[in-house]
């Protein structure tokens, strides 16, 4: 006779390997992006699978209900879908398989490798749509994250666990800046979500911006612009779950999401299809409800941290458009990329005077803070006097402070300019700032 504990262990294995009864429904209608069905018994946000008569499976996500019908949006192509096809609830689709084997891999919005490599052996399963940690579960942010980019490390020092937005219009160097961050950061691992990117740009980004060395410590999650909107949203949340896995292992994680604007557009498509009323510039209320759920999952915790950079594609360089304004109000800082600087060949095109790191005063040392403030004053003086200097109306010697600023202008600009492949250690950055202030 077997011991009782052996029977319990056998029962536990049987339960783990069992296939629960699936709730089943029938497709009754398709309208635009929506699939309506009678059943199955599911909740909003859960996943289903349509079994077509052609023998294909189409995964969908439930977005709401109407007149007793289940409303879901396909995550895949709907070719072959017919009236009366069976739709079944899919338990477990809101989880992702995670392990250290994800490092160096490229995943799709379902968490499947899309780089031609072998399947990833899971060490654990993480909930994609997990709730953000509570406010008292977070630790104070005191240690800096070194990026190797002088303008950031010197003027806009970021702490481990900070959330920062990168704001800029099209063509101002966001992708190049992200590539530099991934190659030069001093975190343990990076997780990059490319949401709504063009197909062509994904491989270019991997080969030219990240490079082989960068990929050795990076997990890439991709859902391009041609993928259904629920899959684009899912890709962002999947990247968050992967980052949380490495955080729970005690690692410092760099999370980059490009871009929040395209994420918001995907959620807007879902909201409009579900019948939500459009509000600011057509964005639905669920968009602004979703943003904090994404941003608040980053931070510093007892074991590990997630430092997050979220890019925002501002329309027409309007920093006050709805998404940019909402993001700026939630995050711990914002980096503004200036088109005017980019047109002058000044890269990275970071406008130091418009950019803010709300935790720089906490994580930067006293001498560094003093040097950064004095250099900001110099840049502000040069900016306010730019028109006078350009037209030759300023007479040298009439303002000693401005004379000193003009004399140091080229050195300061050289400090803020940096080639994408150039990495500057933090010690060298601080030393150069000290020299700019003292004039040595």
Contact assessment for residue 219 and residue 190, using Cβ atoms and an 8 Å cutoff: yes
Is pLDDT above 70 for 7? no
Contact assessment for residue 259 and residue 289, using Cβ atoms and an 8 Å cutoff: no
Domain architecture of the chain: domains with CATH: 18-90 (2.40.10.170), 95-364 (3.40.50.12240), 368-438 (1.20.1270.330)
Q: Helix H segments across 188-330?
A: 199-204, 211-215, 229-248, 260-273, 285-295, 322-330
Between 399 and 230, residue with greater pLDDT = 230
Per-residue DSSP letters for 76-125?
Answer: S--TT--TT-EEEE-TTTTEEEE-GGGTT-EE-TTS-B-SS-PPPPPSEE
Categorize the per-residue pLDDT at 80 as very low, low, confident or very high, splitting at 50, 70 and 90: confident
pLDDT cut 70: percent of the chain above it: 95
Is pLDDT above 50 for 394? yes
Mean pLDDT, the chain, as a whole number? 90
CA distance 319 to 48: 39
pLDDT digits 0-9 by tens, 131-145: 999 999 999 999 999
| Least confident stretch, 238-247, 330-339, 393-402 | 393-402
* Three-state SS at 218: strand
Categorize the per-residue pLDDT at 1 as very low, low, confident or very high, splitting at 50, 70 and 90: very low
Beta-sheet pairing, 163-168 with 333-336 = parallel
What contacts 24, CB < 8 A, 6 or more positions away? 39, 40, 86, 87, 88, 89
What phi and psi values does residue 401 have, to the nearest 5 degrees?
-65, -40
pLDDT digits 0-9 by tens, 49-64: 999 998 899 999 999 9
What per-residue confidence (pLDDT) applies to 391?
Answer: 81
Span 105-134, average pLDDT: 92
């Amino acid at each position: 006779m077997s011991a009782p504990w052996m029977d319990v262990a056998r029962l536990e294995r049987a339960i783990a390997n069992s296939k629960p009864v699936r709730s089943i429904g029938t497709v009754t209608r398709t309208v635009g992006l929506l699939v309506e069905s009678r059943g199955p018994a599911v909740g909003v946000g859960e996943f289903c699978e349509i079994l077509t008569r052609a023998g294909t499976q189409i995964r969908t996500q439930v977005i709401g209900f109407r007149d007793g019908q289940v409303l879901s949006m396909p995550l895949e192509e709907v070719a072959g879908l017919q009236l009366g096809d069976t739709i079944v609830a899919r338990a477990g689709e809101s989880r992702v398989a995670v392990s250290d084997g994800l490092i160096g891999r490229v995943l799709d919005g379902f968490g499947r490798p899309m780089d031609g490599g072998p399947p990833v052996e899971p060490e654990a399963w993480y909930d994609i749509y997990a709730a953000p940690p509570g406010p008292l579960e977070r630790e104070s942010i005191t240690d800096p994250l070194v990026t190797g980019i002088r303008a950031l490390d010197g003027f806009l020092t970021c702490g481990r666990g900070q959330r920062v937005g990168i704001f800029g219009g099209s063509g101002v160097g966001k992708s190049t800046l992200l590539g530099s961050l991934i190659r030069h950061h001093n975190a343990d691992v990076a997780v990059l979500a490319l949401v709504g990117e063009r197909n062509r740009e994904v491989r270019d980004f991997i080969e030219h911006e990240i490079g082989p060395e960068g990929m050795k410590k990076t997990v890439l999650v991709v859902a391009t612009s041609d993928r259904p909107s629920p899959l684009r949203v899912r890709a962002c949340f999947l990247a968050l779950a992967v980052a949380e896995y490495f955080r729970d292992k005690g690692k410092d994680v760099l999370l980059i999401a490009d871009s929040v604007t395209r994420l918001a557009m995907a959620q807007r498509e879902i909201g409009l299809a579900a019948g939500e009323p459009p509000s600011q510039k057509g964005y639905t209320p669920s968009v602004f409800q979703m943003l904090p759920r994404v941003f608040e999952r980053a931070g510093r915790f007892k074991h590990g941290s997630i430092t997050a950079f979220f890019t925002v594609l501002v329309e027409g360089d309007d920093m006050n458009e709805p998404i940019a304004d909402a993001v700026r109000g939630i995050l711990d800082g914002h980096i503004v990329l200036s088109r005017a600087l980019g047109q002058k060949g000044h890269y990275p095109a970071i406008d130091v005077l418009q950019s803010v790191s709300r935790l720089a005063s906490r994580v930067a040392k006293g001498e560094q803070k003093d040097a950064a403030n004095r250099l900001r004053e110099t840049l502000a003086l040069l900016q306010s006097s730019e028109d006078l200097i350009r037209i030759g109306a300023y007479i040298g010697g009439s303002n000693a402070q401005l004379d000193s600023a003009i004399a140091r202008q080229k050195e300061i600009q050289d400090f803020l300019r940096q080639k994408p492949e150039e990495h500057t250690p933090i010690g060298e950055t601080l030393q150069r700032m000290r020299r700019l202030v003292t004039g040595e």
